[in-house]
């Protein structure tokens, strides 16, 4: 059997799904791009997408709901200077494509842009090979999906008699995209995405507490073998049982140790968003104009890496057709660069970094994170905890907010412990971390050797758009963080 090179195979799949059934081909794409370029612009692209999504949920031992959806369409964009004109259609046809192209070409403003020559020869862009072009929805049948959720429920109830309620969810998505740019670039991706989520409620002496777990990535549903499901169940049940024993959290300024893995969501929010190119081009980020300066303690190295195989935040290409990259944003405390889409990179005089992302064909791309994490150091977790005289050890987080301009953040810890004289004393509830992202990074005093990525559950929101992402970090000791508590 002769197989095609993966990039060409993905292109063939995309053409078969997005173009051929609707009578579209290279001639129609070139005609639409030429229509946009009749006025002066800097850039133009077409973004075709077809997404199939399936979800199942279990509650009270019964699979109570299931959903299946199909969405497809094309987004048409013209860029002139820093202005963007955008139109989209959920109809895939040459007439709809040309109508959208005529709509966006009106962006032109005299003297602000240039006439772009639409390339006559197409070029298939280079891309990564990070995951297989699998349709995850088809990797298990309906009975197997229901049985998977039922196993999760049985595992959770069997783990401890205090578990009184279990909710579990299973989601699978098959996403096919094709990008056609005015410079002749053509790129395609076939993106599987799956996730299992577990929520348990435990009760003891009339008190109820919640714990959550789960994970996933870019592969088929066969990934969720019993061993993996048991990890998610253990995570959820242990969190709920821990919180049953929790006491009110102390408040005040103190040493805080963050656990590895998912607590990297604080890094994502408090630092990552501030390193996105659009905020820095406009000067609204606290990191604007600071490349080459120290913005974090020595030893702090932060990356955004869309090239990690099978990860939730990884992509073979971004949503503008560029191959994703391993971008070093902060190295040993020094700011090295920002994450960029095409427009902001052009306006800032740098190259795109493979971070142009959009929620769907109905949205414009913007600079977005992929997998954002901090590299590990040399200290063991035990050594870091033992160094605390009095402080908080936070191992899991719920929601949070950040102000990009000031860098100020507020995060709620869903699982945390009070530590005295190097010993964990008891779990606490109601701890809220309050601080300033850039300042917090300068107060990192110990970096663990246990860097972990999260299990594959992250969703990032920006300007009303949501995209899947990954986060990660090692155990970190941070000095003088403000903890809002209930004690």
pLDDT surpassing 80 at residue 283: yes
Q: What is the Cα–Cα distance from 341 to 318, expressed in whole angstroms?
A: 9
Q: How does pLDDT run across 144-199, given as a tens digit for each residue?
A: 999 999 999 999 999 999 999 999 999 999 999 999 999 999 999 999 999 999 99
| Predicted structure pTM score | 0.94
Q: Can you state the angle between helices 26-36 and 94-104, rounded to 10 degrees?
A: 20
Mean pLDDT, rounded, for 197-205: 97
Cα angle vertex 385, ends 379, 386, to 5°? 95
What's the mean pLDDT when you consider all of the chain? 94
pLDDT tens digits, residue range 357-372? 999 999 999 999 999 9
Determine the Cα–Cα distance for residues 287 and 11; give it in Å rounded to an integer: 38
CB 73 within 8 A of CB 89: yes
CA nearest to 476, candidates 263, 317, 303 = 263
Neighbour-count burial of 117, counting CB atoms closer than 10 A to its CB (0-12 exposed, 13-18 middle, 19+ buried): exposed
Can you say whether the dihedral through the CA atoms of 33, 52, 194, 271 is positive or negative? positive
336: left (phi over 0), alpha (psi -120 to 50) or beta: alpha
Distance from C-alpha of 79 to C-alpha of 112, rounded to nearest angstrom: 11
Cα-Cα end-to-end distance for the chain: 68
The span from the CA of 97 to the CA of 411, in Å, is: 44
Reading the block at residue 179, the tokens are: 């990008």
Q: Distance (Å, rounded) from C-alpha 264 to C-alpha 267?
A: 5
305-310 CB contacts, 8 Å cutoff, 24+ apart: 305/370, 305/371, 305/372, 305/373, 306/128, 306/354, 306/355, 306/370, 306/371, 307/128, 307/130, 308/130, 308/371, 308/453, 308/470, 309/130, 309/131, 310/130, 310/131, 310/217, 310/218, 310/219
pLDDT tens profile 89-103: 999 999 999 999 999
Task: Judge whether residue 120 has pLDDT over 70.
Answer: no
SS3 for 386? helix
């Amino acid at each position: 059997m002769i197989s095609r090179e993966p990039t060409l195979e993905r292109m063939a799949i995309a053409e078969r799904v997005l173009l051929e059934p609707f009578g579209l081909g290279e001639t129609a794409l070139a005609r639409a791009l030429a229509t946009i370029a009749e006025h002066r612009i800097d850039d133009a692209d077409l973004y075709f997408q077809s997404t199939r999504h399936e979800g199942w949920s279990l509650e009270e031992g019964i699979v109570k709901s299931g959903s299946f959806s199909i969405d497809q369409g094309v987004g048409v964009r013209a860029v002139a200077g820093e202005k963007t004109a955008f139109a989209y259609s959920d109809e895939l046809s040459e007439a709809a494509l040309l109508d959208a192209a005529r709509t966006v070409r009106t962006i032109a403003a005299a003297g602000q842009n240039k006439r772009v020559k639409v390339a006559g020869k197409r070029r298939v862009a280079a891309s990564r090979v990070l995951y297989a072009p699998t349709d995850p929805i088809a990797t298990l049948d309906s009975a197997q999906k229901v049985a998977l959720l039922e196993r999760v429920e049985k595992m959770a109830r069997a783990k401890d008699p205090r578990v009184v309620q279990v909710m579990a969810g299973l989601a699978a998505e098959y996403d096919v995209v094709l990008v056609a740019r005015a410079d002749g670039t053509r790129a395609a991706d076939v993106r599987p995405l799956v996730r299992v989520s577990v929520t348990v409620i435990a009760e003891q002496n009339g008190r109820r507490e919640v714990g959550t777990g789960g994970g996933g990535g870019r592969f088929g549903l066969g990934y969720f073998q019993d061993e993996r499901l048991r990890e998610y169940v253990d995570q959820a049940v242990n969190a709920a049982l821990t919180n049953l024993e929790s006491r009110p959290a102390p408040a005040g300024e103190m040493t805080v140790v963050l656990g590895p893995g998912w607590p990297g969501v604080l890094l994502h929010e408090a630092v990552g968003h501030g390193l996105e190119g659009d905020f820095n081009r406009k000067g609204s980020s606290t990191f604007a104009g600071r490349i080459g300066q120290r913005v974090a303690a020595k030893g702090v190295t932060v990356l955004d890496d869309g090239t990690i195989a099978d990860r939730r935040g990884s992509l073979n290409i971004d949503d503008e057709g560029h191959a994703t990259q391993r971008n070093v944003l902060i190295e040993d405390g020094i700011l090295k660069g920002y994450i960029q889409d095409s427009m902001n990179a052009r306006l800032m005089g740098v190259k795109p970094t493979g971070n142009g992302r959009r929620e769907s064909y109905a949205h414009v791309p913007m600079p977005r994170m992929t997998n954002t994490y901090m590299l590990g150091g040399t200290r063991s977790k035990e050594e870091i905890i033992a160094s605390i005289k009095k402080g908080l050890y936070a191992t899991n987080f719920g929601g949070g907010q950040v102000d990009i301009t000031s860098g100020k953040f507020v995060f709620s810890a869903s699982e945390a412990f009070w530590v005295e004289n190097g010993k964990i004393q008891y779990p606490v509830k109601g701890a809220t971390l309050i601080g300033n992202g850039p300042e917090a990074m300068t107060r990192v005093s110990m970096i663990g050797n246990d860097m972990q990525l999260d299990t594959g559950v992250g969703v990032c929101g920006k300007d009303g758009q949501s995209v899947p992402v990954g986060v990660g970090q090692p155990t970190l000791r941070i000095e003088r963080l403000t903890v809002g508590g209930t004690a």
